[in-house]
Structure 1
Amino acid sequence: MDKQQKLGLLLSSRLFKKRTDVEVVLNRTTLSWREIQRSQKQDLDIGNSLDAAVSQVVPVSEIVSVQKTEEQHSETSSAHSRALEHNQLFLYAFTVSYVLRASKHQWRCTDVVFLCPDLTVCEQWIRAISDQLSILANRPKSLLVYINPFGGKRQGKWIYDQKVAPLFSKACISTDVIVTEQPNHARNHLETKANLDKYDGVVCVGGDGIFSEIVHGLVTRTQDENKVDLNDSEAQLMPSALRIGIIPAGSTDCICFSTVGTNDPVTSALHIIVGDSQPMDVCSVHHNSSFLRFFVSLLGYGFYGDVLTDSESKRWLGPTRYDLAGVKTFLNHNYYEGTISFLPAEDNMSNPRDKLQCRSGCCVCQQRSSSKARDMMEEKKKSVKDRREGWTVLSGKFIAINTACISCACPRSPKGLSPSAHLADGTMDLILVRECSRIDFLRHLLRHTNKDDQFDHQFVEVHRVKKFHFQPCRTEVSSLEDLSEIPRRAPSDQHAQPHRGVTATPPTAAGPATARSCPIMQFKSVSSAS
């Protein structure tokens, strides 16, 4: 019993599961059960039971719910006859729903039913497990849900109603659901109308576009409430108190894929239920001392911006529109001439080609987070002259100028545009594709679909930066596109800069653009190899 006391033993009973007697043990961190062999049943020693190997162990943090089994379970009839052999009739049961980790980072919700000898034991188990779940403060109890019914294959509402809502209900999470009717519906509602005090988080059902709307709405509202001037590119952004969850139902869902490891609605819903969260950088873009927008995934100038612009008129084609627009843009083979200035990341903890992928517990992001306050103080002490030192300036003709805050992985590009980009380190990966032949550019694009190094070309360079600025030679060809938003023509001369923890923004194409790192929290975890 000493070993169990050290583990925080709360309850232990001999119960019945399917056709088998089982010993069920609950401690402060796990629920476990194991089959009781026939030879052990006469003189079962509960005190030494944990010394034997258990057949199943579930972390309490991954239990979705526990409830009394009101109706006779499908296994009860066989269990009943089996129980009669032991001169015991098990009439009461409770069901534990928990996370089952499947392949390829996917999670599933599965149930186990335990039969009890009497009502008192049944209620005792339900109460004990419920008490442990109530202690988990990171779990949401009330959520505001926005559904984009038009994104991807237009299945957002069906996905939520059929796959997500039943799980939220099972976990006793209350929801207010809003089906968006037009672009920026969610953003405008969050900025001006939503009463956010009663919610633990905001969930978007759709693609990267509606996630961008949620980020803009929440972050903008938070800055307004804290009197932060968004037009000041040097201002430190304040993180939102609410976390954001993504249920993938879009065309590419790269933000979800880059953080969870799969575009599976059930997996994302379960991450939300158990309270998993991951900070992300948000980047801001400025032009002539005016704030333009935030971005959290990829900012594209040139090729990718042109693809998005051309695809917007073909939204009725769904995800196929990107293929058609991509072929057209590739054949056009435009290039853009200009000057890029960027401020390299100062430390040597990581670089864009170190082949290290950001995962849960990433040491780079954790160390950056711990040094955030110190970095902010040092930045404030710098004079205007000091802030201009250390910048690198490049000029030339470019087919594409991209800035990645995350890996931007998706099913079509499993490693992403920048496989070693970090989620919350306050930096961005600036990817420059200089003028080259169509064949060479095609080779570069194809490497995004396999394991080859897409940066291993003489005409491609990548830099990990804190800020960047792009000045095109001709303003009429400049187009700066957040690849998660509806495209817009951007003015020339922009800069971007990252804000760690809330947002991250690097200097970008066209006018001065700055990216700042200010943390937002998402209901999701970055998958490891498990």
Structure 2
Amino acid sequence: MESAHSPLPSVLCSVLSVKRQNCEVTLDPGRSLLSWRELRPRRGKDRSRPGICMTRVFHQARGLVNGFTHQFPSGGVTIPVTEIVSVGEEEIDEKYYNSMKWQHMCKPHAFTVRYVQRARKHRWRCKEVTFWCNDEQLFYQWLQALNDLLEQQTHRPKYLLVYINPYGGKKRGKQIYETKVAPLFSAAGICADVIVTEYANHARDNLYEVNLEKYDGVVCVGGDGIFSEVLHGLIGRVQKGSDVDHNNPNAHLSQCNIRIGIIPAGSTDCICYATVGINDPETSALHIILGDCQPLDVCSVHNKRTFLKYSVSLLGYGFYGDVLKGTEKNRWLGPARYDVSGCKTFLTHHCYEGSVSFQPAKWVLGSPRDQTPCTSGCYICRQSSKQLEEQQKTQVFGSEHRGKQDDDWTTIKGRFMAINAVSMSCACPRTPKGLSPAAHLADGSADLILVRKCSRLDFLRHLIRHTSNKDQFDFPFVEVYRVIF
């Protein structure tokens, strides 16, 4: 009998059955990988039977060993444990078992592994595979080993607060959550308290009152509007609890550590599209289940010493500001209101005279025209974040740094069609590359885009560039700068 303190095997390898085919299934805890490959049938009496355990201790796990490798045809499936959604015992359907498919197995046992399968264009799908065996001890050994590894994923949420906007987009938020998201949350063992919002800023107001200590995160189902409500509610509550005056533009805001998940069900879903890469509810739900986290830059907007709002995407004055203002009057049109308001604003061809002052972000890596998009684990964001943290610790960025850069302000005067400041690419299905394709999500800067007065035809050419791979800044009347905000 083995000692109670004996080490667990580094690799668990067994012959199990998948869809009536014998497969060698391997779990490598050291590399956090689960893989299975179909076994070629053997001749003679030494045929592999499902449930035969070949658990071994490999001091250096470098794939399969000895006589098993040559049995595999090309292919097989390998998935990281970090992308396994859930593992559970499968109930045996007596009718299915008695249909002669599994009668060669004595008292079969089955467990199902649900996992993420990556598809094209950043789309994720939840797939599942069921493993069968007739050895009860082996069955529980596999369940225990897989569940132990899943329990080590401590960053995954267990209890969520969900806000659903039933009026956003095509008014399908509640249906999307119930049919596409809730079943995935249930399969992953996530409990959720669901609140369907009844009026504007309902989510923001509720977040000031709800007990957040029992939740691992907040999920909003809808478009950019419901995300903005949740963002303002969480940041506002944290500042209130920390006695921070958000009306002071120089105040150092307390960091909000509660994660926000987005299930797209709006008209544009700009924030979801720019962070996940696609506005697909199932993909977003799987990112939330796996505990994926993406930091975002948050910009506060003030009028002198009065706080107006927080922004994580676009601050638009001129054309885009007029478009958004026009959409509020025609919300009954749904997503089509952006086309109606956009055409009307384009035909009016308004321009605005004024001056814009900004500080160039000289310390930030990259530039708005370097053709380097922000991706997961972005080097530019990582390095810029480290620099910001160092500056905050030494209080250089908060006081001395800003004081030394008082002379670095740049002022541009003129007549403008549009003045935009974006802290992310602002990509969406309408503009797949976004307003600034190389803008970064968490580098502490924003891209300032100035479109000077021009003809309707030139402005139309500039707008069309947003839907293509061409450089939308390559016009004499367009200027772009990476600035501190």
For 2:145 and 2:463, the matched residues in 1 are separated by 55
| Correspondences of 1:419-430 after superposition (within 5 Å) | 419-430=437-448
Aligned residue identity for 1:252: T
Q: CA distance change for structure 1 residues 95 and 346 in 2, over 3 Å: closer, same or farther?
A: same
Q: CA distance change for structure 1 residues 89 and 272 in 2, over 3 Å: closer, same or farther?
A: same
Q: CA deviation at 1:403?
A: 0.8
Cross-structure match for 1:320? 336
Q: Does structure 1 retain, via aligned residues, the 8 Å contact 2:90–2:110?
A: yes
* Structure 2 residue 103 is the aligned partner of structure 1 residue 99: no
Q: CA distance change for structure 1 residues 236 and 74 in 2, over 3 Å: closer, same or farther?
A: farther
* Structure 2 residue 293 is the aligned partner of structure 1 residue 277: yes
For 2:127 and 2:94, the matched residues in 1 are separated by 15
Cross-structure match for 1:412? 430
Q: Does structure 2 retain, via aligned residues, the 8 Å contact 1:201–1:244?
A: yes
* Structure 2 residue 421 is the aligned partner of structure 1 residue 403: yes
Aligned residue identity for 2:422: A
For 1:11 and 1:63, the matched residues in 2 are separated by 17
Secondary structure at the counterpart of residue 466 of structure 2: helix
Secondary structure at the counterpart of residue 251 of structure 1: coil
| Correspondences of 1:41-120 after superposition (within 5 Å) | 42=46, 50-51=64-65, 52=69, 55-72=76-93, 76=97, 81=101, 84=104, 88-89=105-106, 91-120=108-137
Cross-structure match for 1:469? none
For 2:366 and 2:168, the matched residues in 1 are separated by 36
Q: Does structure 2 retain, via aligned residues, the 8 Å contact 1:108–1:266?
A: yes
For 2:452 and 2:94, the matched residues in 1 are separated by 65
| Correspondences of 1:156-305 after superposition (within 5 Å) | 156-190=173-207, 192-305=208-321
Q: CA distance change for structure 1 residues 427 and 8 in 2, over 3 Å: closer, same or farther?
A: farther
- Taking only the aligned residue pairs, the percentage that are identical comes to 54
Q: Deviations over 1:331-379 (max 9, x none)?
A: 1001111111000001262000000000011100000111222222212
For 2:368 and 2:216, the matched residues in 1 are separated by 35
* Structure 2 residue 471 is the aligned partner of structure 1 residue 457: no
Deviates more, 1:380-389 or 1:364-373: 380-389
Q: CA distance change for structure 1 residues 35 and 76 in 2, over 3 Å: closer, same or farther?
A: farther
Deviates more, 1:305-314 or 1:221-230: 221-230
Give the TM-score of the pair, scaled to structure 2.
0.90
* Structure 2 residue 24 is the aligned partner of structure 1 residue 23: yes
Cross-structure match for 1:487? none
Q: Does structure 2 retain, via aligned residues, the 8 Å contact 1:8–1:27?
A: no
Cross-structure match for 1:146? 163
Q: Deviations over 1:103-144 (max 9, x none)?
A: 111000011001111332222211211111111011000000
* Structure 2 residue 38 is the aligned partner of structure 1 residue 32: no
RCO (CA 8 Å, sep 6+): is it higher in 1 or 2? 1
Q: CA deviation at 1:433?
A: 0.6
| Correspondences of 1:507-522 after superposition (within 5 Å) | none
Structure 1 residue aligned with 2:466, among 407, 425, 448? Answer: 448
Aligned residue identity for 2:467: T
Cross-structure match for 2:4? none
Aligned residue identity for 1:169: S
Q: Does structure 2 retain, via aligned residues, the 8 Å contact 1:156–1:206?
A: yes
Q: Does structure 1 retain, via aligned residues, the 8 Å contact 2:218–2:259?
A: yes
Secondary structure at the counterpart of residue 443 of structure 2: coil
Aligned residue identity for 2:185: F
Q: CA deviation at 1:286?
A: 0.8
Cross-structure match for 1:490? none
Structure 1 residue aligned with 2:400, among 368, 371, 382? Answer: 382
For 2:337 and 2:403, the matched residues in 1 are separated by 47
For 1:450 and 1:74, the matched residues in 2 are separated by 55
Q: Does structure 1 retain, via aligned residues, the 8 Å contact 2:41–2:47?
A: no
Q: CA deviation at 1:385?
A: 5.0
Cross-structure match for 1:124? 141
Cross-structure match for 1:516? none
Q: Does structure 2 retain, via aligned residues, the 8 Å contact 1:201–1:245?
A: yes
- What is the RMSD of the two structures over their aligned residues, measured on CA atoms? 2.1
Q: Deviations over 1:439-493 (max 9, x none)?
A: 1000000101111111011111010000xxxxxxxxxxxxxxxxxxxxxxxxxxx
Q: Does structure 2 retain, via aligned residues, the 8 Å contact 1:90–1:115?
A: no
For 2:97 and 2:411, the matched residues in 1 are separated by 73
For 1:262 and 1:254, the matched residues in 2 are separated by 9
For 2:257 and 2:92, the matched residues in 1 are separated by 41
For 2:430 and 2:97, the matched residues in 1 are separated by 46
Q: Does structure 2 retain, via aligned residues, the 8 Å contact 1:281–1:425?
A: yes
Q: Does structure 2 retain, via aligned residues, the 8 Å contact 1:9–1:25?
A: no
For 1:413 and 1:458, the matched residues in 2 are separated by 22
Q: CA distance change for structure 1 residues 74 and 237 in 2, over 3 Å: closer, same or farther?
A: farther
Q: CA distance change for structure 1 residues 301 and 73 in 2, over 3 Å: closer, same or farther?
A: farther
Aligned residue identity for 1:396: G
Cross-structure match for 1:361? 377
Q: Does structure 2 retain, via aligned residues, the 8 Å contact 1:18–1:76?
A: no
For 2:94 and 2:197, the matched residues in 1 are separated by 40
Aligned residue identity for 1:34: R
For 2:192 and 2:268, the matched residues in 1 are separated by 26
For 1:75 and 1:260, the matched residues in 2 are separated by 40
Q: CA distance change for structure 1 residues 454 and 74 in 2, over 3 Å: closer, same or farther?
A: farther
Secondary structure at the counterpart of residue 408 of structure 1: coil
Secondary structure at the counterpart of residue 455 of structure 1: coil
Q: Does structure 1 retain, via aligned residues, the 8 Å contact 2:92–2:110?
A: no
Deviates more, 1:8-17 or 1:294-303: 8-17
Q: CA deviation at 1:227?
A: 2.1
Cross-structure match for 1:352? 368
For 1:7 and 1:415, the matched residues in 2 are separated by 49
Secondary structure at the counterpart of residue 382 of structure 1: helix
Cross-structure match for 2:3? none
Q: Does structure 1 retain, via aligned residues, the 8 Å contact 2:446–2:482?
A: yes
Unpaired stretches in structure 2, ≥5 consecutive residues: 1-6, 49-53
